[in-house]
Amino acid sequence: MSQPAARRFEVKVEEGPGHGDLYELEQTIYYHVIDIHTQEIVMTFECEMSASLSKSTGQWEDFQYGGVREVTITPDEQSALVKYYGGKEEIVHLPK
């Protein structure tokens, strides 16, 4: 029985620092595709998040997201499946 091939890529999610003013929050979320063997980032996708501060509860609300929602590596490790807010999906080929 053959052994499964070792994984080459993984996706790491990084939340950038929040910014905005007193009543608004903006944040970029990064989806890094990393070569496991070299630990190099081979591509990055972004999501933009914003929210507003509720005057009645003091909590963040009205979250809005744009850009990338999810990135996964395909089982053959040849591509990344990128899903966007709004329903769009695309396949992006990974470096060989």
Alpha helices in 1-96, H assignment, sequence order: none
Complete domains list, the chain, with CATH: 9-69 (3.10.450)
| Cα angle value 68/24/27 (rounded, 5°) | 30
pLDDT tens string 58-96: 899 999 999 999 999 999 999 999 999 999 999 999 998
Please state, in angstroms and as integers, the Cα–Cα distance from residue 25 to each residue in 36, 40, 51, 68, 77, following that order: 33, 30, 5, 18, 36
The span from the CA of 17 to the CA of 43, in Å, is 20
Q: How many residues does the chain have?
A: 96
Q: Tell me the whole-structure pTM to 2 decimals.
A: 0.86
